[in-house]
Structure formats: structure tokens, C-alpha cells
Amino acid sequence: MLNKFNWIYFSDCSVDDEFFDSLKSDYEEFPIWFNRKSAEGAKAFVYKEKDAIKAFIYLKREYSEAIELTDRALPPEPRIKIGTLKISDNSQGMRLGEGAIGVSLWYWQRSEYNQIYITVFEKHQKLIGILCQFGFKCIGKNTRGENVYIKDKRTLSFKDCYTSFPYISSNIKRCGYIPINDTYHDTLFPYSELYDTNQETEEIAAANGITKIFLAAPFNDLDYEENEPVLIYRKHTGDGIAKYKSVVSSFCTVYKQIPIKKAGHCLISKDEFLNIVGNKTVFFGDELNDWYNKKNLVVIVLVYNGYFGKGKNINYATLKENGLFETYPYENKLSKSQFEQVLKMGGKNVQNIIID
């Protein structure tokens, strides 16, 4: 069964749950605010495990509110505020923090607002670390002593594909393909075969993380560059005509390409390899041992930017007819305009994905 968040009413959670103790400690007025949201019928994005809350996110659209800092105020403009973001302390090893931030940023992207922000006390260093990884910048403190972290679409950092997430830099030299057999694809990208339903996609993606590890055992060297966008190509292996059932389902950005073994020579130890892949791949235990025993092995770390959805995935026949799939998947390289063409074919608003 897939791990997933759920959008649920505040009233379906109890403010007396020990999960909220730290929030009540930080904010004396938290119970009053929580009960008011319950009465208003507000919803939060919640992850539970055996009925215990492990993550809680509340997102708010602000239309014309200033951000008051101790030394100045940011003028009113439409913004997304991450009003509450709490991850359980005993959920270490899970990628809920990354998923929670990812979902918040997708929500921001759909709003087409320029800014998203969150306030957080200095003591919450784990959360601050994730915020900085995703390109949030501290702009000062508010009157209650919280740091204010903001991300602005007009001043994005393109240092890497996390700091610019969910957007992709317009400085695209080329775009590649990552071919994945359908069985593995649907485990690594479980939401890519859903119909284009943002809510259900977010519920699954948030719990399964946006960092994806792809393992390849190529005969020849692979040629992917950091920050290069790639199209995820789901290879059909069952019955039916493959050219109509093999499809481009999603798009990612390459964070790193890490050679592990070449011509039987170990470039990275087995322990280091296992540490790199962690819980971000579809393989476990003996399967990873089998991978490490291969003659050639490359790890590609991907950041998941978005998906097309069932009914909007683009099949091989269509790609071929449009000159977008001319050779073996690993060797296909598209231009920036061709990558944009594929996004449009999948029903995406290019201007809200690729930006300066």
C-alpha cells in the first residue's frame, strides 16, 4: 500500500494530541488558533502512521498582507504562507520533511504568486536546513523573534535543482531521457500514472519524497549533466504494442551523476554506494547487492519536478512522429525548444515551469 498524506479537516485532529505539544510550547495561542480553524472548516495536509500524526502542514493564501519585521516591513502583495509545518521528531529516516516542502512549493507554483514564506524559531535547525536546501532565504526576524524565510520567483537561485525547485532554469543546453521499465517506474513514480489530479498526486508524492535514485548498468558511458532536465520514459514490457504504451510520464532535473563501477573496477565502495542510494530507490537488500556486482554501475540522483498524468502522457509513436525520439533513450538529446514542445504536448504551462 502506498504511503500517502491526506487533506483532512482540522476538526478530525485533536489539539490535545502530543504531536502538537511543541507548537503549544512555542505559541501560547496555538490551541485558540487551532480551534478557530476547526470551526472554520479548514483543512491541513496530514501524514499518519498507525493513527499517530507524523506530519502536519497548513498552507494559506495571503492576498494583501504586509510582512512585519523588526527593522522594516515588506509591502503587501499576494503570497503563500506555510502557516504550520511540523514533522514528528521520531520520523527520522523518512523523507516527510522534503516531501512537505516539495508539496508546499508545488502549491505555490500553481498559485503563480511571486513569493512563499514561513516563520520559524532559530532552534528548529532541521527544518531550517531543509528550507535553505530548497532556496529559502532568511530576510530578518518578526516581532515575536521568529526568523522569516522567503522564496521569490523573481530572485531564484539556480545554484542547483533544489534551490530553484519546482522551477527549471531557462539556461537549458539540452534535455535527455531516462528509460525505466514499467514495473520499476510505477514504484519510483507511483503518482505519474494517475489522472491529472493535483490533490491525489501530492498525497503520494509528499510521503515518497522528491529525490529519486536511478540505477543504470550501461554498456557505454552515460552523458548527463548537473541541472539538465530529463524526461522519464516509462518502457512498456507487457502485452500490446509498445510504441503506443511506452510513454513519457514525468520530468525531472539531474542533481548528480555518480559512477560507481566501470569495467568491473570499483570507483566507490559498497558501503558508500548503499549510503548514497538510501531509501530513495526501488531496490532493497539483496537487489542492491546484485546491482553492486554488475560490471558497470552508475547512480543518477534526480529531483522530481512534475508529471503529465494519465491521459496526458506522450507515447513513443507521437514522440517519434514529431522528431523527438530518434535513437536509443540514453542517447536521445533534445534542444530547449524540443523540451518545451514535449511539456506543451503534455498540457503544461511552460512559462510557469521554465523561468529566468
pLDDT in tens, 100-126: 898 899 999 999 999 999 999 999 999
Residue 164 in domain: no
Q: Which of 129, 155, 181 is the last residue of a domain?
A: 155
Do 287 and 197 meet the contact criterion of CB atoms below 8 Å apart?
Answer: no
Instruction: Retrieve residue 52's grid coordinates.
Output: 499517530
Mean of the per-residue pLDDT values of the chain: 89
Residue 231 in domain: yes
Based on the fold, state whether residues 236 and 139 are members of the same structural domain.
no
Based on the fold, state whether residues 147 and 191 are members of the same structural domain.
no
pLDDT tens by residue, 40-55: 999 998 888 888 898 8
Count of domains observed in the chain = 2
- Collapsing DSSP to helix, strand or coil, 165 comes out as coil
> Helical H runs in the chain?
21-26, 30-40, 96-111, 125-133, 182-188, 198-208, 242-245, 270-277, 285-292, 316-321, 336-345
Based on the fold, state whether residues 198 and 225 are members of the same structural domain.
yes
Widest distance between CA atoms in the chain: 65
Based on the fold, state whether residues 181 and 326 are members of the same structural domain.
yes
Instruction: Retrieve residue 279's grid coordinates.
Output: 531509501
Residue 163 in domain: no
Residue 165 in domain: no
pLDDT tens by residue, 8-37: 999 999 999 999 999 999 999 999 999 999
Based on the fold, state whether residues 111 and 251 are members of the same structural domain.
no
The pTM (predicted TM-score) of the whole model is 0.90
Position 243 pLDDT exceeds 90: no
Based on the fold, state whether residues 148 and 179 are members of the same structural domain.
no
- pLDDT score, position 91: 62
Based on the fold, state whether residues 14 and 54 are members of the same structural domain.
yes
Residue 161 in domain: no
Based on the fold, state whether residues 179 and 144 are members of the same structural domain.
no
Structural domain that includes position 326: 170-355
Residue 22 in domain: yes
Q: Which of 131, 155, 179 is the last residue of a domain?
A: 155
| pLDDT band at residue 1 under the 50/70/90 scheme | very low
